[in-house]
């Protein structure tokens, strides 16, 4: 509990002391509003020195105090106390000198309404207005403030949750971006590993520097059609197969998965490793090509005309090629290569329709990947 020693001096407008005036000391409570903690009356010198207890066990802040004249009607007395704590733990509240101004009664003629005790009471709507005491303080304002504070706390909490959610989503997006970058780098390394044995006919090893001339390494720059890309790769693989067979070896199935940029619906651009860091997300397409060199004929006797298998499904294209003694090699590419095709239909073929091919040779068809 906080022991309070309070004092004041009440004087009139002319400077003389106001004796015998009842004064009440009140303290503000967050739950109940203003409440009385002490009553006293001014002495002959207009002074009051009293003791009070605010009822708070462990106050965190200094109490809010006010003085109320207990006469009828009650009136607030001005003055802000000076607060000071003594060594004994008592809070001294000195209100100083307070000037008391009495309300003067004004006599009025009867013409305006009823006259009571010499004071005019006007009529409102034919009903005489009476004198009512000031309403007792309520906690309505306090409840409104608490409701608004609770609403603000809820809004702040919701904002914090949204901010935390955005931070989590941003971290996830950054992690996904880093993972995609790593996968792109690994794909480029795998493509380089395949280029090595294609150009030299040796087993995979460290990727050598690109050699000048029309080698596969030149496909990493510039733009070319998917048919040219597949044809050049097929030629390099055939050369490697020929070189290996001369040494008693043979290539197995060769699968190439590449990341490329489709331009104009039919041209492919293969960016360098350093350029992958600046490629706009979502602009890369997957290209998968598989070669089976063992199915290629060793002689060129008995050539046939290659039929047109574009816009056919894989099963239909395989049957058409088999009818003339050719073998289908399946690859998949982005639908943007030939927008007129539906998913699952052949967009390009190599060699093209009408060309001559040896019986038993391979025709590469690029089918539109499903959405």
Cis check: omega of the bond before 199, within 30 degrees of 0: no
**309 touches 321 (CB < 8 A):** yes
Enter the CATH code of domain 3-102.
Answer: 2.60.130.10
Q: Flag whether pLDDT at 318 surpasses 80.
A: yes
**Degrees, nearest 5: CA angle 106-107-113:** 110
Give CA separation, 51 vs 3, 5, 92, in Å. 7, 5, 9
**Does the fold of domain 297-371 match that of domain 3-102?**
no
Start-to-end Cα distance in the chain: 76
Give the pLDDT confidence of 37-76 residue by residue, as tens digits.
Answer: 889 999 999 899 999 887 765 666 778 888 888 876 667 7
Q: How far is CA 156 from the centre of its chain?
A: 16
Going by pLDDT thresholds of 50, 70 and 90, the confidence category of residue 103 is low
**Strand (E) or helix (H) holding 39:** strand 33-41
Cα–Cα distance measured from residue 8 to residue 305, given in angstroms and rounded to the nearest whole number: 120
Domain 297-371 classification at class level: alpha beta
Across-strand partners of 356? 305
In residues, how long is the chain?
Answer: 371
Rounded to two decimals, the pTM is 0.30
Cα–Cα distance measured from residue 201 to residue 238, given in angstroms and rounded to the nearest whole number: 10
Give the pLDDT confidence of 321-352 residue by residue, as tens digits.
Answer: 998 889 999 999 888 888 899 999 999 999 99
Amino acid 213: pLDDT: 41
Mention every residue, 6+ apart, whose C-beta is less than 8 A from residue 253: 290, 291, 292
**204 touches 183 (CB < 8 A):** no
Question: Hey, where are the domains in the chain?
Answer: 3-102, 147-285, 297-371
**335 touches 215 (CB < 8 A):** no
């Amino acid at each position: 509990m906080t022991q309070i020693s309070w004092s004041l001096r009440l004087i009139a407008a002319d400077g003389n002391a106001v004796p015998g005036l009842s004064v009440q000391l009140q303290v503000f409570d967050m739950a109940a509003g203003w409440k009385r903690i002490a009553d006293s009356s001014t002495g002959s010198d207009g002074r009051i020195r009293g003791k009070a207890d605010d009822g708070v066990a462990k106050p965190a802040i200094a109490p809010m105090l006010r003085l109320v004249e207990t006469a009828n009607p009650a009136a607030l007395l001005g003055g802000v106390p000076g607060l000071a704590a003594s060594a004994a733990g008592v809070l001294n509240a000195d209100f100083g000198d307070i000037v008391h101004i009495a309300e003067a009664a004004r006599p009025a003629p009867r013409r305006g309404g009823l006259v009571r005790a010499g004071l005019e009471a006007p009529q409102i709507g034919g009903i005489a207005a009476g004198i009512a005491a000031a309403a007792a303080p309520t906690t309505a304002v306090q409840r409104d403030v608490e409701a608004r504070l609770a609403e603000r706390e809820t809004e702040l909490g919701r904002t914090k949750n949204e901010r935390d959610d955005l931070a989590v989503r941003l971290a996830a997006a950054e992690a996904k971006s880093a993972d995609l970058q790593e996968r792109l780098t690994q794909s480029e390394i795998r493509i380089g590993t395949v280029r090595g044995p294609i150009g030299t006919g040796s087993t995979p090893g460290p990727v050598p520097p690109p050699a000048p001339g029309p080698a596969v390494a030149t496909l990493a720059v510039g733009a070319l059609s998917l048919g040219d890309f597949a044809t050049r790769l097929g030629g390099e693989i055939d050369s490697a197969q020929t070189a290996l067979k001369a040494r008693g070896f043979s290539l197995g199935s060769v699968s190439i998965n590449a990341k490329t940029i489709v331009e104009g619906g039919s041209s492919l651009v293969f960016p360098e490793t350093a350029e992958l860091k600046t490629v706009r997300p979502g602009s890369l397409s997957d290209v998968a090509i598989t070669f089976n060199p063992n199915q290629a004929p060793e002689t060129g006797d008995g050539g046939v005309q290659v039929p047109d298998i574009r816009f056919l499904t894989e099963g239909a294209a395989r049957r058409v090629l088999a009818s003339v003694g050719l073998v289908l090699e399946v690859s998949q590419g982005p639908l943007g290569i030939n927008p007129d095709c539906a998913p699952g239909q052949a967009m390009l073929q190599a060699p093209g329709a009408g060309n001559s091919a040896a019986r038993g040779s391979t025709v590469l068809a690029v089918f539109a990947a499903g959405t």
